[in-house]
Amino acid sequence: MEADYVIVGAGSAGCAMAYRLSEAGRSVLVIEHGGTDAGPFIQMPGALSYPMNMSMYDWGYRTEPEPHLGNRRLAAPRGKVIGGSSSINGMVYVRGHARDFDHWRDQGADGWGFADVLPYFKRQENWTDGGHGGDPDWRGRSGPLHVTRGEMANPLTRAFIEAGGQAGYQITSDYNGQQQEGFGPFEMTVHKGQRWSAANAYLKPALKGGKCDVMRGLAGRVIFEDGRATGVEVTRKGAREVIHARAEVILSASAFNTPKLLMLSGIGPGAHLAEHGIDLVADRPGVGANLQDHLEVYIQMAASQPVSLYKYWNLPGKALVGLTWLLGKTGPGASNQFESCGFIRSDKGVDYPDLQFHFLPIAVRYDGQAAAEGHGFQAHVGPMRSESRGAVTLRSNRPEDAPVIRFNYMSKESDWRDFRRGIRLTREIFAQDAFAPFAKHEIQPGAALQTDDEIDGFIREHAESAYHPCGTCRMGRADDAHAVVDPEGRVIGVDGLRVADSSVFPRIPNGNLNAPSIMVGEKMADHVLGRHLPADNAEPWIHPNWKTAQR
């Protein structure tokens, strides 16, 4: 069992790597612990709350007790299935803001500024506007990844955008185009009513090309000979074997499992590895550090009319949605229902958006529990650039043991300030005329909660992860002691080993992480192949009065 390139993890970046490397004639073997992505729970967009709560598809990780959130242990799902987290996520497609990538570049990830990454975002996309406008010059039309917009048939979905405009914010026709800031239609990785995961977009075409194979097994560690990665030790069917890489080993195993694998392989903080009896290959204190995420709360409103998706929130309703989807890939099941959104700045003096809204025309939790009030709607809101940092560390030296995940959420005072502003700004949007025909009363937090202390108590009790972990194998210059990989994804201190997934992000970008994770796979594949797309110097829109105005 050997190939030119052995990729650990068939997730967002790993599938893109497999496709591009095999397309270039290299032989690729992808190691994936999870199984098939067949079946309606994954392929039906409207069923998204199911796969991320199913142990069959999810690693089932939880955080350690979070000290600033009342010692709650939060769910931290990651896809354990072909397609990785792109097979269990909410399918929301957000590139991130241009300034995010310029920040990466300025922090030492040379060649990762917005001008450098925009051509890769375009290359990955097969974008259609769905009749809701857009920014075609900024988008890709011929990539493997289908990106579409919902029909916005629900009046609540349209009311959210209208309310944003009434509150004085920008309306943007394409937040993935020139102007992220403002309210507008949301985009999703859905094609003809089906989830368009990295497996559907990249891996399945790669497997048909004859140069790529997938092998099921649990990767335990990277094998080194004279400081060079030569293979991966895998457990499958109860037996251990080594898969050999003729050229390189590439880790695309997630922001949790990639640092875990590096540490099990002897790359990480020396003292921590010694505690677990692991021989040191390269002392890299940054492995597992710099863990970041987006945290959010759900602001829920009861509806005065029966216009929400709650009418389907019963057995006959769900059966009807499922049947309609199975027969024609249409109806409510053909959308993730995140069809409108907003990106705003929390205050004047903030140069680009630092709050994101996901709007849903139902009051429901990620685990599929509907609000007891019946018909309603909600906005998820949370700060985009939290200053809090956590870490992923080893629980033991056994590959089958889950890593220790500590996000250290809300450990900075700025997080509390930004969250309070986010909640108050959401309430203001829901109070606009556009919602007057629909809004009844606030379910959560509840209108009685008004003071900073009351709002802080609500955050402590109800904040949830948006499931955007990243940063644990930070990209930086080779002489940066805390960087884990160089700007070409090569692990510093060894040869023949790269990382390509969200763990390389120096700082979390604005929005959901699937799009930038796939972009990392696309761009890292070019680094492996010794090529790159020419830079695209398109100028993003920045609010002209950002220094003096919040909107």
Cα–Cα dist 545/547, whole Å: 5
129 to 142, 150, 177, 376, 497: CA distances (angstroms): 14, 9, 12, 28, 39
User: What value does the mean pLDDT of the chain take?
Assistant: 96
pLDDT of residue 30: 98
| CATH number for the segment(s) 151-185+295-383+411-462 | 3.30.410.40
Cβ 386 vs Cβ 292: under 8 Å = yes
Q: In this model, does residue 478 exceed pLDDT 90?
A: yes
> Is residue 358 among the annotated active site residues?
no
pLDDT at residue 53 is higher than 90: no
- Of 221, 284, 276, nearest to 404 by C-alpha is 276
Q: Give residue limits of the domains in the chain.
A: 1-146+188-291+470-536, 151-185+295-383+411-462
Element (H, E) at 163: helix 155-166
* pLDDT at site 368: 65
Question: Of the residues 97, 132, 468, 543, which is catalytic?
Answer: 468
Give residue-wise pLDDT tens across range 206-233: 999 999 999 999 999 999 999 999 999 9
Tokens 């001008």 appear where? 115
| Residue 115 vs residues 20, 176, 357, 475, 505: alpha-carbon distances, Å | 21, 14, 26, 18, 17
pLDDT of residue 131: 75
Q: Which fold has domain 1-146+188-291+470-536?
A: FAD/NAD(P)-binding domain (3.50.50)
Q: What's the confidence (pLDDT) of residue 49? A: 85
What's the CA dihedral at 530, 535, 541, 547 to 10 degrees?
Answer: 80
Look at phi and psi of residue 208 and say left if phi exceeds 0, alpha if psi is from -120 to 50, else beta: alpha
Q: Over the stretch 297-321, which tens digit does the pLDDT of each residue have?
A: 999 999 999 999 999 988 899 999 9
DSSP 539: P
The pLDDT tens digits for 271-280 are 999 999 999 9
Whether residue 66 is predicted with pLDDT greater than 90 in this model: the reply is yes
pLDDT, mean of residues 390-407: 98
Question: Residue 16 pLDDT more than 70?
Answer: yes
DSSP alpha helices (H): ranges in 369-513?
Answer: 413-430, 452-462
- Same topology for domains 1-146+188-291+470-536 and 151-185+295-383+411-462, yes or no? no
Pairing, β 239-251 against β 497-499: parallel
**pTM of the prediction?**
0.97
Supply the pLDDT for residue 366. 64
- Residue 313's pLDDT is 87
* Averaged pLDDT for residues 5-26: 98
Phi, then psi, of 471 in degrees rounded to 5 = 95, 0
Nearest-angstrom CA–CA distance, 235 and 335: 38
The whole-number pLDDT of residue 217 equals: 97
Distance, CA of 134 to CA of 127 (rounded, Å)? 10
318-340 per-position pLDDT tens digit: 999 999 999 999 999 999 999 99
pLDDT digits 0-9 by tens, 512-524: 999 999 999 999 9
pLDDT in tens, 114-158: 999 999 999 999 999 877 789 999 999 999 999 999 999 999 999
